[in-house]
Structure 1
Amino acid sequence: MPRPYWSGQIQISLVSFGVNFFPATESKSEIRFHQIDRKTGERVRHQKVSGDDAPVEASGIVKGYEYRKGEYIQIEPDEIENLRIPSRKTLAVTQFVDESEIDPEYFEKPYFVTPESASQAEAFAVVRKALQETGKVALGKIAFGGREHVVAISATSDDELGGMMAYLMRYAEELRKPADYFSDIKKVKIDDDQLSLAKELIKRKAAKFAPQDFKDEYEVALRAMVEAKVSHAPLPKDEPAAPAGKVVSLMDALRKSVQSDAVGEKPEKAAAEPAASSAPKRGIVLVKPAAKAAAHKSTSKSKRKSA
């Protein structure tokens, strides 16, 4: 197991137990670029220099705070390390809230939380189960990475693994004011028929979240381009988007979207159907082998007839 990113105590009133935080994410990008000289093809190196352009070794660099224009006080690493911050080693829970109360924009980075040792497992398990059954999230603060962070602790839904999650959160002042961006949005009257079709479209495309189904296609295309250049092959080019059918109104767009969800049906075919058709054919389904898709279509027709 890798080394924990943070180790310390979670404290709830008089109850405390040791935990480890492990980063729950990692970069999966395999493409790495370097800066090179276009003329020579050699890699460009960066060198740290002082005001007189003299090179400075890493060991000779310290942090500095500019307290007056052009004047600095030096801050040594051990001075920062010895700052008196209780949250450096203890996450004191200040309150519990429903997870639904926290807007998604406040969540920043996830961590896996485990007991620090076997002796801490009992308290860890009891608190985890209590969070799970009450549907609450614990809020507190810890200091690492050069600042103090608000942290939300929640129980995972997988009882088999029995872990907890910690999420670094943004402070309210870090978020820009929504009114600065949303206040100019034109207020419009919602048409009931359009709303009904939009809700039907959402219903048909609704599915259980499967994160493994989402892939970084940009990374795939980038690798294909790099491999083509290495092998001196023609570079793959972006294909122009297929022309969309002419839409004369939002109502037409919604109606045609609802009508064109049959397996294998082309948008042009859907657009050719009578615009007044109000009964949708059936819901969105996963792409299936031809035989299964045909059987599924036959079953759907039988159900409609019997209805």
Structure 2
Amino acid sequence: MPARPYWRGQIRLALVSIPVEIYSATKSGATIAFNQIHEPSGKRIKYEKIVPGIGPVNVDDIVKGYEYAKGEYVLLDEEEIEGVKLESKKTLELTQFVDSDEIDMIYFEKPYYVVPADDLAEEAFVVLREALRRSRKIGLGQLAMRGREYVVSIKACGRGMVMETLRYADEVNKAASYFRDIGDAEPDEDLLDLATTLIDKKSGKFDASEFHDRYIDALKELIERKKKGKTLNIEAEEGRAPSRGDNVIDLMAALKRSIGGSAGGASKSGGGRSTAKAPAKTAAKRPPARKAAKTPARKTA
């Protein structure tokens, strides 16, 4: 467990206060940072802070400004900004409880592990944890940390609990503006059954360790090769990603192939409708085939 918690305080439920500590549940993944280099000299590019028409300026002369109109700024110094920051409260009061599936996942932002601050707090901590688990509820409240106020949720997680900061409503784009052009027609039942079968076939328990960033791995390999004076030979992958024009497929046949079924066989209802298109396509191609047959050279070949 990290030596220094992100926040110390207490969770309050009515008249019950539970001393807790929270720790960041995530960390930054492996990233590759690049610098801009002057190739002829091999030296790193440096940047100067300049004002158009004036030139380089002293760092001490720089303040923060909010642009309220084009080219017009309200200037603020650090003391003024610090003065309006919210004082970090040491109490998270749970004011509401909702069903665990009621909050859209898009609102969840960053998770933190919550643990009892000491042995005396453990009993009340376990009671709250199990009450949340049994009721399948999530506790909600607001908490000020490091100058900002967050909406947070609390839920059971193994032997402990997880607190997650939530995005405010005005930080989330409304899905309707993106999904409105998608039709509301019901899918074909046979196609839906095949898709469900495919999902069931590929279902399993989630294991985060099975996934890794292949781009980062490739970059690391390239850097190691370059350090040794070698180059990375990137061979073209076989095939290519289909363009929009290549996307006209027999969905029924594709789904059947995906689950290991026969692409040629048709189901009693939906399958018959899907494969009925094939003869029409074949008939459309027959005239060119007959013309080709009239050419003696091609017939011999």
Paired with 1:89 and 1:67, the residues of 2 have a C-alpha distance of 35
Question: Which residue identity is paired with 1:228?
Answer: R
- Tell me if structure 2 keeps the 8 A contact 1:107–1:170: yes
Aligned to 2:265: 276
Change in CA separation of 1:81 and 1:127 when aligned onto 2, cut-off 3 Å: farther
Q: CA deviation at 1:28?
A: 2.9
SS in 2 for 1:4: coil
SS in 1 for 2:38: coil
SS in 2 for 1:140: strand
- Tell me if structure 2 keeps the 8 A contact 1:50–1:56: no
- Tell me if structure 2 keeps the 8 A contact 1:87–1:141: no
- Tell me if structure 2 keeps the 8 A contact 1:151–1:167: yes
Q: CA deviation at 1:81?
A: 4.7
Paired with 1:11 and 1:274, the residues of 2 have a C-alpha distance of 60
Q: CA deviation at 1:213?
A: 0.9
Question: Which residue identity is paired with 2:15?
Answer: L
- Tell me if structure 1 keeps the 8 A contact 2:65–2:76: yes
Q: CA deviation at 1:36?
A: 1.9
Larger Rg: 2
Number of residues paired by the alignment? 260
Change in CA separation of 1:135 and 1:233 when aligned onto 2, cut-off 3 Å: same
Matches within 5 A, 1:287-306: none
Question: Which residue identity is paired with 1:232?
Answer: G
Change in CA separation of 1:104 and 1:236 when aligned onto 2, cut-off 3 Å: farther
Out of 212, 216, 230, the residue aligned to residue 215 of structure 1 is 212
- Tell me if structure 2 keeps the 8 A contact 1:65–1:75: no
Q: State whether structure 2 residue 5 is matched by structure 1 residue 4.
A: yes
Q: CA deviation at 1:277?
A: 7.2
Out of 65, 70, 78, the residue aligned to residue 76 of structure 1 is 78
Matches within 5 A, 1:59-98: 62-65=63-66, 70-77=72-79, 80-81=81-82, 83=84, 85=86, 88-98=89-99
Paired with 1:118 and 1:256, the residues of 2 have a C-alpha distance of 58
Q: Deviations over 1:140-194 (max 9, x none)?
A: 11123443211111111x2xxx221111111122111111111111344421211
Aligned to 1:111: 112
Q: CA deviation at 1:15?
A: 1.7
- Tell me if structure 1 keeps the 8 A contact 2:132–2:155: yes
Q: State whether structure 2 residue 26 is matched by structure 1 residue 25.
A: yes
- Tell me if structure 2 keeps the 8 A contact 1:67–1:73: no
Worse-superposed segment, 245-254 or 175-184: 245-254
Q: CA deviation at 1:84?
A: 7.6
Paired with 1:145 and 1:48, the residues of 2 have a C-alpha distance of 29
SS in 1 for 2:106: helix
- Tell me if structure 2 keeps the 8 A contact 1:252–1:275: yes
Q: Percent identity?
A: 42
Aligned to 1:301: none
- Structure 1-normalised TM-score? 0.74
Paired with 1:191 and 1:126, the residues of 2 have a C-alpha distance of 48
Worse-superposed segment, 4-13 or 60-69: 60-69
Worse-superposed segment, 248-257 or 37-46: 37-46
- Tell me if structure 2 keeps the 8 A contact 1:225–1:236: no
Question: Which residue identity is paired with 1:173?
Answer: D
- Tell me if structure 2 keeps the 8 A contact 1:109–1:167: yes
- Structure 2-normalised TM-score? 0.75
Change in CA separation of 1:61 and 1:20 when aligned onto 2, cut-off 3 Å: farther
Question: Which residue identity is paired with 1:144?
Answer: M
Aligned to 1:267: none
- Tell me if structure 1 keeps the 8 A contact 2:87–2:147: no
Paired with 2:112 and 2:167, the residues of 1 have a C-alpha distance of 15
Out of 174, 191, 194, the residue aligned to residue 191 of structure 2 is 194
Paired with 1:204 and 1:6, the residues of 2 have a C-alpha distance of 44
SS in 1 for 2:215: helix
Change in CA separation of 1:193 and 1:150 when aligned onto 2, cut-off 3 Å: same
Paired with 2:227 and 2:176, the residues of 1 have a C-alpha distance of 49
Matches within 5 A, 1:37-48: 37-48=38-49
Worse-superposed segment, 106-115 or 122-131: 122-131
Aligned to 1:284: none
Paired with 1:60 and 1:16, the residues of 2 have a C-alpha distance of 48
Change in CA separation of 1:125 and 1:248 when aligned onto 2, cut-off 3 Å: closer
Q: CA deviation at 1:111?
A: 0.8
- Across the aligned residues of Structure 1 and Structure 2, the Cα RMSD in angstroms comes to 2.9
Q: State whether structure 2 residue 153 is matched by structure 1 residue 164.
A: no
SS in 1 for 2:151: strand
Worse-superposed segment, 248-257 or 237-246: 237-246
